[in-house]
Amino acid sequence: MLNKIMDYKLIYDQSKDLLEDYNKNKNKSNDHDDHKFREDMKLKYDYIFCNINSIFELCITGKMELKILEYMISQAEDIQKNNISSHDAEVKVGEKLVDKYVKPLTKK
């Protein structure tokens, strides 16, 4: 959960842009190009690389879902505004992730 004071708009914007760059680059894949792409993206999207590396990694591998990120950011902003406790926000995010990823697996 994102709970320290951060630039959430910048997090979202860099994540969205990095996903777009990933999608443009994914067909040009070889080991050298992948390494250069990663190094270029570290510099270009240094805020998320340095501050929230897990989000950077999800984006650079094409695994980030922007709707989930938006929800997490909205919960973090609500914590900052004292609209919700950190615990309650974490529970809500956890429930959303379980509904999205775990429950579909249990239906099989």
Q: What pLDDT score was predicted for residue 56?
A: 97
Give the closest residue to 21 by CA, choosing from 62, 51, 70.
Answer: 62
Q: What pLDDT score was predicted for residue 1?
A: 44
pTM score: 0.82
Mean pLDDT by 10 residues, the chain (108 residues): 74 97 82 84 97 96 95 94 94 91 82
Residue 38 CB burial class (10 angstroms; 0-12, 13-18, ≥19): middle
